Amino acid sequence: MGRLISTGVHRKGHSTEFKSTLVRNRKVCDMVCECGFSTRITSFGNPWCHIEVQVRYNDHLIECGLEP
């Protein structure tokens, strides 16, 4: 697993993209929303990271008063 690709799902100003960078010679990935919200995907590189992405995105939508 080298990278995540955004599916283009968009909810009222909440579209995400993924930015990967090297930190201490390790590739890390952040999910960044167009509203300014950003979070590190801690399980990046593992098969279950897709579940973490969905949970974090749903939690973000709920915090913004939207349904996931």
CB 44 within 8 A of CB 29: yes
Distance from C-alpha of 56 to C-alpha of 66, rounded to nearest angstrom: 13
pLDDT at 1 over 70: no
Structural domain that includes position 31 = 10-63
pTM: 0.84
Domain assignment present for residue 2? The answer is: no
Distance from C-alpha of 22 to C-alpha of 15, rounded to nearest angstrom: 24
In the chain, the number of structural domains is 1
pLDDT tens string 20-40 = 999 999 999 999 999 999 999
Domain assignment present for residue 68? The answer is: no
Pick from 4, 1, 27: which is nearest to 17 by CA?
4
Helices (H), strands (E): how many in the chain? 1, 4
